[in-house]
């Protein structure tokens, strides 16, 4: 199986033509911005709609599931992209290291974001936080857990998780490498695979679905999906999945902290609408936008003056793992290679 670093090599003239077609005649308009994003469109739609209403700037959104860096490199200086919005610190750093971003001089961003949530050279900025939590069958007497326990044989055939190569999980595995070393993490990952109740596939909501269905008892997933499921229409599948589980916040055995990642953004190197890109960035760290992150997306805001949604708050206090996000990102390639080495997604 190819790793994400190997499989993103099939971008070419077709994507260039597609990008040109999407933005033909309008990419340089003063009242528009072209956003390339790897975030699920439904999750960011409320934020973008609110920005459009507040600013009068239209957001043209292109969802790029895989190969964002390769696509932008292929488009070169003619790329219509103004802003990149992605999940995972590693994805942000990949764009910076790929030389497709540019620094932003914004007093608003510098005053709002603490130093650990933006690049030293202002090439990327965090927009929200999320933690990788444990979904547990609501009737299971379990109130504390470590990530290391996922490999405990007592959970044999009882664990559900999405693909190991998904950025959410490679980041967690990278953090495990940073804490415990590559050899110990490989052994741990083999143990987790042995405990899987079904192949590592699907999405985070599917973990809750399969707990309700009796396929597994526990699983790893992002915190905010619980909010989306529990706020769905009564009687809907999502509502039933969300009500079938409780959330336990795992910690690393050594640090006593929970793994946290970010969503973030960076301005494109050749942004034709740079001023509008900065406007959108500044809006996304404002109180109204951060309230949407908290109350529409059930994520953790990057501002201390914005309250959590009650569902998120019900998970209890969050003690963030002490590892620096950039340090975790250094081990992403090793993590991806380990996933393939142990055949986690086979």
Give the separation between CA 268 and CA 95, rounded to whole angstroms: 9
Structure tokens at 288: 């109204």
What DSSP element (H or E) covers 44?
helix 41-55
Give the separation between CA 83 and CA 102, rounded to whole angstroms: 10
Query: What angle in degrees, to the nearest 10, is found between the helix axes of 182-194 and 332-341?
Result: 40
* 224 annotated as belonging to a binding site for a ligand: yes
Contact of 235 with 247, CB cutoff 8 Å? no
Give per-residue burial for 241-261: e unless 16+ CB within 10 Å, then b: bbbbbbbbbbbbeebebbbbb
Nearest to 13 by CA among 106, 91, 105, 75: 75
* 293 annotated as belonging to a binding site for a ligand: no
Q: What is the dihedral of CA 301, 304, 307, 308, to 10 degrees?
A: 40
Strand partners for 261: 130
Give the separation between CA 294 and CA 191, rounded to whole angstroms: 35
Instruction: Note the residue count of the chain.
Output: 346
Give per-residue burial for 146-170: e unless 16+ CB within 10 Å, then b: ebbbbbeeebeebbbbbbbbbbbbb
The binding site for Fe cation consists of: 224-225
Residues in binding site: 224-225
């Amino acid at each position: 199986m190819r790793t994400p670093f190997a499989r993103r090599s099939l971008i070419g003239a077709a994507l260039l033509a597609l990008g040109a077609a999407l933005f033909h005649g309008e990419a340089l308009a003063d009242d528009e911005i072209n956003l390339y994003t790897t975030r699920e469109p439904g999750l960011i739609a409320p934020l973008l709609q609110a920005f459009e209403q507040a600013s009068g700037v239209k957001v043209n959104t292109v969802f790029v599931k895989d190969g964002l860096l390769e696509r932008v490199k292929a488009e070169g200086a003619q790329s219509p992209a103004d802003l990149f919005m992605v999940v995972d610190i590693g994805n942000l750093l990949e764009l910076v290291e790929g030389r497709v971003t540019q620094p932003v001089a914004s007093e608003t961003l510098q005053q709002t974001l603490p130093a650990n949530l933006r690049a030293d050279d202002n090439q990327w900025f965090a927009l929200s936080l999320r933690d990788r939590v444990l979904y547990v069958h609501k009737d299971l007497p379990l109130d504390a857990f470590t990530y290391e326990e996922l490999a405990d044989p007592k959970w044999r055939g009882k664990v559900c998780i999405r693909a190991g190569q998904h950025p959410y999980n490679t980041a967690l595995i990278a953090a495990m490498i940073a804490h415990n070393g590559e050899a110990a993490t490989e052994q741990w990952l083999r143990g987790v695979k042995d405990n899987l109740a079904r192949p590592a596939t699907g999405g985070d909501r599917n973990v809750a679905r399969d707990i309700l269905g009796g396929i597994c008892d526990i699983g790893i997933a992002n915190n905010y999906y619980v909010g989306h499921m529990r706020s769905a229409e009564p009687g809907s599948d999502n509502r039933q999945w969300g009500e079938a589980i409780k959330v336990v916040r795992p910690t690393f055995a050594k640090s006593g902290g929970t793994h946290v990642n970010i969503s973030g953004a960076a301005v494109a190197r050749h942004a034709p609408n740079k001023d509008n890109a900065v406007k959108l960035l500044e809006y996304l760290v404002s109180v109204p936008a951060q309230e949407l992150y908290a109350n529409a997306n059930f994520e953790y805001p990057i501002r201390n003056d914005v309250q959590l949604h009650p569902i998120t708050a019900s998970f209890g206090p969050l003690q963030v793992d002490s590892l620096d996000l950039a340090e975790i990102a250094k081990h992403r390639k090793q993590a991806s290679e380990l996933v393939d080495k142990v055949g986690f997604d086979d």
